[in-house]
Amino acid sequence: EDDAVTVRITKCEETAAPADGGAVASQDAEPTCAVDATVSTTALLLGADGSARTVANAMERHDAARRRALPLLARAVAPRPFSVTRYADDNPKVFRSLPVRLPPDWPRGLNYSARSAKGVVLEALPSDDNGTMCALLLMDP
């Protein structure tokens, strides 16, 4: 129970598509979030945060500010602070996304993957029923 985490969960929805039918880039989208939030307590919290670690860094800053506001004696007995373990990137990759069209006689519902001895990786996932794949090419810089 000492390691329980309380989280506030708010439902957010992406902004509707423009009237011209075009798309809105995710970095330009303005999500609309509900005012009401659900509060829950859990012993284990898993989350996905991008390489910028926006969520983890905000959690670390918030906890540091909360601890600074505690009286000195309360800090001594308070649970250990939230911290992010940062590892050096010892395997950097350059990537490129690209569409791939399968030959007509190839199966459509499979994920395709190829790896070279030099570290080049191609991962392709089906994106429609016509044989178009969404592929990601990964390679060393």
Residues 39/6, Cβ–Cβ less than 8 Å = yes
What pLDDT was estimated at residue 25?
56
Residues 121/139, Cβ–Cβ less than 8 Å = yes
Residue 68 φ/ψ, nearest 5 degrees: -65, -30
pTM more than 0.75: no
| pLDDT mean across residues, the chain | 81
Write the DSSP symbol of residue 102: P
- 2 pLDDT more than 80: no
**Neighbouring residues of 5: CB distance < 8 A, sequence distance ≥ 6:** 41, 42, 43, 44, 45
